[in-house]
Amino acid sequence: MKYELQPTLPPPANMIGVIGWLRKNLFNGPVNSIATIVVGYFLISFLVPTIQWIFIDADWVGDSRDACTSGGACWVFIANRLDQFLYGFYPEAEHWRVQIAFIILIGSIIWLVLPKTPKKGIVAALLLVAYPVVAFILLYGNSFGLPQVETHLWGGLTLTLVLAVVGIVASLPLGIVLALGRQSEMPIVRSVCVTFIEIWRGVPLITVLFMASVMLPLFFPEGMSFDKLLRALIGITLFQSAYMAEVIRGGLQAIPKGQYEAADALGLGYWQKMILIIMPQALKLMIPGIVNTFIALFKDTSLVLIIGLFDVLAIGQAANQDPKWIGYSTESYLFVALLFWVFCFSMSRYSQHLEKALNTGHGNRA
């Protein structure tokens, strides 16, 4: 008789390794097996030719459509127009200005996103206040010895970024005022703010853009004419500020009531209470919401093509009409889609990460 503990038997061969994983995750039951086969068949029959078309059969180098002979995607088309996709009709000699503005923007965003970089507050303040001025001087010129570049030459990804960044930066202060007004105890202030917010949130952006381009010139005295870009920016900012106000209100409401009462008990005035106690806590909670509205705005900037501005999608549309390159519209749509997707996907991942990181704290958030 043996009294030692027998060594445990290894798990059955079909429960571990690749086979075990397949059985557990793909074929655990008749319904799942059928679903796996159907989805798998669909994916293979769709993805394989697509990948082949995009990468393997594609043509990458050349100067004209004659280079596209292999039957795959014609990336030569995109490569030839890459400058237009990025800068629109911005004069080629001045592209460095756009590049510098872009590098400053990306640099400071990376600074803010990375954990443990010092002086985030100062960088954020500079980005919100000083950067728009610097970027405007760089892009528009007409000062500091830079030649002027009219806004109708702006286009492509540059214009998309200008619209999105201006939209978000300009709507932030307006949104804060509206959110505070909506929570105010003064009935007239509150109803003015509620009306403003609900009107803009209730209508599609496209009608706002129509309004900005058709009605806005009528609102101002004769001789006061606006740039088309400026009109679009006014429309986008008003529209966006309503959404921003709701995000900020969400942040304000997430602050426990005790914080408001404690500030009152200390004898702080309204603005002291808001600036010193409530806003610093609420702003942290609002960042994911602000990033999400930024994603929505970033996608919505493509609508400006309807009022005749050349954002990156409009450049793609115009390129498709080029008689020299007829028939390659799929390529240009895919390229523009990829640009948007990279921006939006990375922002949404960042916002999800932030939500998780902020959720560990206490307070009355679930």
Partner 1 sequence: MSSDMSSSGHKPDGSAKEKAPPVSQPKFWNDPKKRSLLFQVLLLSVLGFVFYTIIDNTLTNLEQRGITTGFDFLTREAGFGIAMSLIDYTEASSYGMTFIVGLLNTILIAVMGIIAATILGFILGVARLSDNWLVAKFSALYIEIFRNIPLLLQIFFWYYAVLRTLPQPRQSIEFLGSFINNRGFIFPAPVPEEGFGLVTVGFFAAIAASWLIARWAKKRQELTGQQFPVALTTIGLVIGVPLVLFLFSGMPLGLDHPELKGFNFKGGITVIPELIALWLALSIYTAAFIAETVRAGILAVSHGQTEAATALGMSKAKTLRLIVIPQALRVVIPPLTSQYLNLTKNSSLATAIGYPDLVNVFAGTTLNQTGQAIEVISMTMAVYLALSLMTSFFMNWYNARIQLSER
Helix (H, G, I), strand (E, B) or coil at 154: strand
Comparison of 41 and 96: residue with beta carbon closer to partner 1: 41
DSSP element (H, E) containing 365: none
Helix ranges restricted to H, the chain: 17-25, 30-51, 75-80, 82-87, 95-113, 120-140, 156-182, 187-202, 205-210, 216-219, 228-253, 257-265, 270-272, 279-300, 312-321, 329-358
**Nearer Cβ to partner 1 (54/189):** 189
Handedness of CA 64, 65, 66, 67 (dihedral sign): positive
HSE-CB at 245 with a 13 A cutoff on CA atoms is: 25
Q: Minimal distance in Å, beta carbon 345 to partner 1?
A: 5
Q: In angstroms, rounded to a whole number, what is the distance separating the alpha carbons of residues 18 and 202? A: 53
Residue 70 or 207: which CB sits closer to partner 1?
207
Q: Indicate the residue among 17 and 204 with the shorter CB distance to partner 1.
A: 204
Nearer to partner 1, 122 or 188 (CB): 188
CB of 288 to partner 1, least distance (A): 15
Question: Alpha-carbon distance 299 to 334, whole Å?
Answer: 15
Distance of closest approach, residue 21 Cβ to partner 1, in angstroms: 8
Element at 267 (helix H, strand E): none
Supply the minimum distance, in Å, between the C-beta of residue 306 and partner 1.
6
Nearer to partner 1, 75 or 131 (CB): 75
CB of 22 to partner 1, least distance (A): 9
User: Least separation, in Å, of the C-beta of 214 and partner 1?
Assistant: 4
Residue with tokens 């460095």: 96
Contact 189, 196 (CB under 8 A): no
User: Minimum distance from CB of 243 to partner 1 (Å)?
Assistant: 12
Instruction: Concatenate the DSSP letters of all residues of 17-39 into one string.
Output: HHHHHHHHHT-SSHHHHHHHHHH
Name residue 9's amino acid: L
- Which of 350, 193, 201 has its CA nearest to residue 287? 350
- Nearest approach, Cβ of 157 to partner 1 (angstroms)? 13
Of residues 209 and 279, the one with the C-beta less far from partner 1: 209
Specify which residues 154 forms β-bridges with.
Answer: 88
Nearest-5° Cα angle at 239, 234 to 240? 100
Please give the residue ranges that form the binding site for partner 1 (CB under 8 A). 25-26, 28, 32, 35-36, 39-40, 43, 185-189, 192, 198-199, 201-204, 206-207, 210-211, 214-215, 217-222, 264, 267-270, 295, 299-300, 302-303, 305-306, 313, 317, 320, 329-330, 333, 336-337, 340-341, 344-345, 348
Nearer to partner 1, 12 or 29 (CB): 29
CB of 35 to partner 1, least distance (A): 5
Nearest CB to partner 1, comparing residues 205 and 354: 205
